[in-house]
Structure 1
Amino acid sequence: MTIQADQEAVNIVTVEALINGQNVKSLSQSTKENPANPTEIVGYFPVTTKEQAVEAIEAAAAAFKTWKKTDIEQRVASMRRAIEKIRAAENEIVHLLSREHGKPLYDAHGEIYVALMWMEFACNEAAAALKEEIQEHDHGKTILSYDPIGVVAAISPWNYPIALSTIKIAPALLAGNTIVLKPSPYAPLAAAKVAEIIASEFPAGVINVVHGAADVGVELTTNPHVAKIAFTGGTETAKHIIKAASDTIKDMTLELGGNDAAIFLESFDVNDERAMRRIVVSNFLTTGQICMIAKRVYVHRSIYDQFVEKYIEAANRWIRIGDPFDPDTTVGPVNNVKQRDYVLSLVEDAKQRGAKVIPLGTILDQKLFDQGYYLQPTLVLDCDVHDPIVVEEQFGPTVPILPFDDEEQVIQLHNESIYGLTSSVWGKEEDAILLARQLEAGTTMINTAAVQGLDVQFPFGGVKQSGIGREYGTEGIRTYTEQHVINVPKMLDLPYIPE
């Protein structure tokens, strides 16, 4: 069934660039459609020019001179007020996010929950994380301070546009930096609205928001006033960013792609219905469009047949594809047609290679399904371990399940990937932890995966081509600082230097 949102939620939304505390109109706008119904316009966002991007960077640079001198109590107080404003506007934000992105309402609420959880953690921990350390020792005194870096260019993706914008905004500002945010053109509206809410509690120029095409991105990554780049997105895009930033040697935090594996040991109980539901959710939450979602599943051969049977049962119970505003819906459309077609091409390639593709779940409204960017979730069996659908990041509603014979084999299959964002191991806890220690990944979860195992108190990021640096945790705050060591020695003349 199709559920119509309330009248306020279906209004067309227009966002503008935010530069030095003012909304700045652009000569042209882009249209954001509803992925569940592409004929419906959700809103408009600007095509920011390169010149406007320069203005935003310069505004941030000017604001930095004053903002870096504010005390931590003032920064935290401003952020806490912003948190309360976001919480007060949550329903409005959730409706907008659901319409522009395609994620069901429960999922959109979940994204706000994660964003606020991180922002509150950052507020609670910032003073301790940024407090200077003073050590008295035999040779004198050493002061270690955590100084703000300067202007941060934050480039956020479309899959979790609010959470992956605030993951940058909160620590950057609390550390005393200023920021220029560029949301993804595939989900620009809700992220821009949240950024404006936060900006209303800070001095002009501390937070700026731009949109636009590639020339804006180039300006953010090459402008000499930009001291740090914080990017979440694809590995190939990150390679261009690294090259563009090389002339000015910018600090970077890059959270990139992943081909996250879930490994089920012989000790895993296939009759554990809650665990089977967790892995299904870990594969298909947000229609499989999460960087840390389980994208390939390896199951010990001794339990493989039973596992597949129980997996299909659990998937068919949980997966209901429909209108994001329908409370019965658990899986919405793919966010954009380009991504839908890419995922479809991987599934078709698997079929051509002889794999068995099994559709999962229930389509609640066939007419809606046919008009939107929908894909029915699929399970892929009997594929080769090196087929594209296994070794590439699908970022959509399909997952291959493959058998393995021993732990040495599955460790090799896991570690030969160019990616290393997250992984998960399922089975008896002691067995799972023992194997987890041998995996090359930034995070490994035991008997759960994806956001179900996320803890913002600890650092998150990838190894190999899944990224550089860490977000979340104390490290996610300090990554927006430069360590400054001040030495005050007692012995000014070293004994081995002649008079």
Structure 2
Amino acid sequence: MGSNAPDPLSQVEFSNVVGGRPRGAAESHRVVDPRTEADLWEAPTASARDLDDAVEAGRAAFRTWGRSTPAERAAVLNAVAGVLYDNEDLLAGILMRETGKSRIMAQMEVKRAAFHYEYYATVQLEDEIQYEDDDLQIVGTHEPYGVIGAISPWNFPLILSSVKVASALATGNCVIIKPSPFTPYAILKFCELAQPVLPAGVFQALNGGADVGERLTRHPGVAHISFTGTIAVGQRIMAACAGTLKKVILELAGNDAAVVTDDVDLGVVVPKVALGCLLHAGQMCVASKRVYVHASRYDDFLARFRAHLAETYAATYDDADAPSVFGPLSNRPNFERCRGFVEDCRDKGYEVITVGEEQEGKKGFWIPPTIVANPPEDSLVVREEQFGPVVPIMKWEDEEDVIARANLDNAGLGASVWCRDAVRARKLARQLETGTVFINQPPQPHHAGYFAGQKLSGVGGELGKQGLLSYCQTKSLHIAKR
């Protein structure tokens, strides 16, 4: 696009969505483009009255929607997916601006979000016979909660919000989505666009900061909260929900480890490990945040990893249309936090290997791919999740030792094992204290696989058929047979 060409997104406006209709707000805020730091659109801030109205609309809609049939809900889910497909260019363009993603990454996000609605149109929970004899039959049924509050993160706004919204709708719940204030736009616009294919009040959206989120978690008319984000915020949400005994799903941070054994083909494994570390500049919940390589392969792995990063992840800073999975940090707080990890490593005298161009003095929240070679286990870059393109790579020799080092309390979301011996790989995977282990593949949750965190990485879970149980109450019917 030439510099004088009109911006097709410049006139787009954004609203909260309450009771099936767009709603403005007395207050608003702006987010900046992570690539350029240019101001984006006005984003409305929901008031306490907006939340009360949304809860009332959701509870009214639930009286009918909660009794809908699986077939009726499947039709709506497919229609919502169609809204995403029909508006792919618009929503991808908005995502590019608010997250800093390349066009190919933004398009992938819209398509993947749509797929979650299509998937849950084909999956439902059936009644099951829990017990039966000549005198008694016990049937387990699954009933929706009512109004669910969904609080979405900023790294994959449409994908991660759609997991929550699709799960809620598939089980007969109504849902109010609160996007991250760092990425409010695509979710607000998508919710607005989806209203014509939904009963009013079934899917609503309210933007705002921590105060809006806290009101949502404390509201007596909200029965359930699903949150994806940091451990610290998740702990506050659980405490807030305790007042009304809300059910919660918390998908929290994961300082995920990748374990590379001595028998692997490095030519195959290195590019895949790199992708697991640096997709979306490492801003992914299950990205590999720590890499442990067997000492006998360490030097070769490090040299290959560095060369691959130089070839593949040298960022195209000025071209969002370049087909890259790498990009800037999505907001200034995460940029400053991640840069702090690098500065701490340099201050401590660790070997820091920068791959690519430093961006000092230039606009945008760019940190080039950075390797920290064999830092100590008690270093900040190993003990805490970086959530950016900073990769500590350490040596190991003993399996029990590397498992112990991998199993930190804040590393319960995911892990990966890279091992040619399938039996050995599964043995290692079973010892890792995480909700998901990826064996010989980059970490990426699958729509059909239950996804949940252990230890500090979460409570409850989502995805797959089992994930729908997190959005339902199980009722047991004890039926006398004579």
Give the TM-score normalised by structure 2. Answer: 0.95
The answer to whether the aligner puts 1:325 opposite 2:320 as a matched pair is yes
What is the match of residue 281 of structure 1? 275
Matched, 1:95 2:93: yes
Q: Give the alignment of 1:35-184 within 5 angstroms.
A: 35-39=34-38, 41-126=39-124, 129-131=125-127, 133=129, 136-184=132-180
Which residue of the other structure, out of 436, 440, 446, is the alignment partner of 2:429? 436
Match of 1:401 among 393, 398, 420: 393
The aligned counterpart of 1:497 is none
The residue that corresponds to 1:304 in the other structure is 298
Corresponding residue for 2:340?
Answer: 345
Check whether the contact 1:287–1:332 (CA below 8 A) recurs between aligned residues.
Answer: yes
Give 3-state SS (helix, strand or coil) of 2:180's partner.
Answer: coil
Where in structure 1 are there 5+ consecutive unaligned residues?
492-499
> Shift in Å at residue 114 of structure 1?
2.4
Letter of the 1:405 counterpart: E
State the alpha-carbon separation in 2 of the partners of residues 9 and 476 from structure 1: 39
Partner SS state of residue 73, structure 2:
helix
Bigger shift: residues 193-202 or 298-307:
193-202
- Once the two structures are superposed, what CA deviation does each residue of 1:422-453 show, in whole Å capped at 9, x if it has no partner? 000102133211211111000001112222xx
Q: Which residue of 1 aligns with 2:308?
A: 314
Match of 2:224 in 1: 228
1:490 shift after superposition: 3.9
Q: Compute the displacement of 1:338 (Å).
A: 0.9
In structure 2, what is the equivalent of residue 464 of structure 1? 455
Please tell me the residue identity of whatever aligns with 1:441: T
Q: Name the amino acid aligned to 1:17.
A: N
Q: CA deviation at 1:54?
A: 1.5
Name which of structure 1's ranges 300-309 and 276-285 shifts more when overlaid on structure 2: 276-285
Structure 2 unaligned blocks of 5 or more: none
Alignment partner, residue 439 of structure 2:
446
Whether 1:15 aligns to 2:14 is: yes
Relative to the length of structure 1, the TM-score reads 0.92
Q: Which residue of 2 aligns with 1:486?
A: 477
In the TM superposition, what is the alpha-carbon distance from 1:195 to its structure 2 partner? 2.2
Residue deviations 1:140-174 (CA, integer Å, cap 9, x gap): 22222111111100000000100111101011012
Contact kept, 8 Å, 2:451 with 2:462, in 1: the verdict is: yes
- How far apart are the structure 2 equivalents of 1:265 and 1:93? 42
Say which SS state the counterpart of residue 348 (structure 1) adopts: helix
CA deviation profile, 1:18-56 (whole Å, cap 9, x unmatched): 1101111111211122111112x3322111112211211
**Residue 248 (str. 1) matches residue 247 (str. 2):** no
Per-residue CA distance 1:179-205 (angstroms, 9 max, x = gap): 111000111101112222333311111
Shift of 1:330: 3.8
Q: CA deviation at 1:132?
A: 5.5
Aligned position for 1:421: 413
1:176 and 1:197 mapped to 2: Cα distance? 21
| Aligned mates of 1:216, 1:135 — CA distance in 2 | 44
Between the aligned residues of both structures, percent identity stands at 33
1:389-439 Cα offsets, whole Å, 9 max, x none, are 111011111110000111111000011333310000102133211211111
Aligned residue in 2 for 1:292: 286
Q: CA deviation at 1:253?
A: 0.8
Q: Does 1:377 align with 2:369?
A: yes
| 8 Å Cα contact 2:353-2:371 kept in structure 1 | yes
Name the aligned partner's letter for residue 407 of structure 2: N
AA in 2 matched with 1:473: G
- Name which of structure 1's ranges 406-415 and 100-109 shifts more when overlaid on structure 2: 100-109
Pairwise CA RMSD of aligned residues? 1.9
Contact 1:297 1:400 in 2 (8 A): yes
1:257 aligned residue: 253
* Aligned residue type for 1:100: E
Once the two structures are superposed, residues 71-119 of structure 1 have per-residue CA deviations (whole angstroms, 9 ceiling, x without a partner) of: 2211111111111121111122111101111011121122223222222
Indicate the SS of the match to 2:32. strand
Residue 18 of structure 1 aligns to a residue whose secondary structure is strand
In the other structure, the counterpart of 1:494 is none
Instruction: Decide whether aligned partners of structure 1 residues 5 and 410 sit closer, same or farther in structure 2, where only a CA change above 3 A counts.
Output: farther
Q: Which runs of 4+ in 1 moved over 6 A?
A: 2-6
- How far apart are the structure 1 equivalents of 2:8 and 2:372? 38
Once the two structures are superposed, what CA deviation does each residue of 1:337-384 show, in whole Å capped at 9, x if it has no partner? 111000001111111112111111457xx69x8111111120011311
CA distance in 2, matches of 1:399, 1:3: 37
Instruction: Determine the C-alpha separation between the residues in 2 that align with 1:103 and 1:10.
Output: 16
Task: State which drifts further: 462-471 or 207-216.
Answer: 207-216
Is 1:189 the counterpart of 2:180? The answer is no
